Amino acid sequence: MKPARKQRLQLVIFIVSVASIGIGLAVYALRDNINLFYTPSQMLAGEAPQNTRIRVGGMVVVDSFVRNEDSLDTAFEVTDGAANIQIQYSGILPDLFAEDEAAVALGYWTSEKIFKAEEVMAKHDEEYTPPEVADAMEKAHQATDKNAPGLH
């Protein structure tokens, strides 16, 4: 083999092996670091795993927001129209967080049916509703339609 060609072959082998190690690592890391989204209905139906970081979203239920008087602890409920779950969060909520508006929380689903949020995201501007929340509301709406066809 010509030296130049041999070197090129070595290079190709080097690049391919580096790339495959990389892809292997990437898939491994992705599996551990993706946060699945669940709707309140799915969570109450037991579809969401516990002790895994997940996301949940919905509309913040009117009059559900309570705040501890001495700390930054807060609690509120979100709904997809069919089911409500309680979210507990300690910290500063985003500016656009409000009751009857969409919110998405990142955190853990506990055995007491309470979602402990590490981070709460509200919608970003007046026009925008997070697509997951819009989707969840839509799904819950369709489900109620199916269960009670006479009502619509």
Q: Exactly one of 12, 13, 15, 66 binds another protein (CB under 8 A); which one?
A: 15
Beta strands 84-90 and 114-122: pairing type? Answer: parallel
Among positions 54-83, residues that touch another protein (CB under 8 A) are 55, 67, 69-72
As measured in angstroms, the least distance from the Cβ of 96 to another protein is 7
DSSP secondary structure letter of residue 48: S
Sorted by sequence, the CB contacts under 8 Å of residue 132 that are 6+ apart come out as 37, 55, 57, 104
As measured in angstroms, the least distance from the Cβ of 149 to another protein is 26
Q: Is 24 in the site for another protein (CB under 8 A)?
A: no
Q: Exactly one of 13, 49, 92, 138 binds another protein (CB under 8 A); which one?
A: 92
Q: Is 95 in the site for another protein (CB under 8 A)?
A: yes
DSSP secondary structure letter of residue 71: S
Question: Do residues 136 and 57 lie in contact, with contact meaning Cβ atoms separated by under 8 Å?
Answer: yes
User: What's the residue count for the chain?
Assistant: 152
Alpha-carbon dihedral 136, 139, 144, 147, rounded to 10 degrees: -140
Q: Which residues bind another protein (CB under 8 A)?
A: 3-5, 7-8, 11, 15, 18-19, 22, 25-26, 29-30, 32-37, 53, 55, 67, 69-72, 91-93, 95-96, 106, 121, 124-128, 130-132, 135
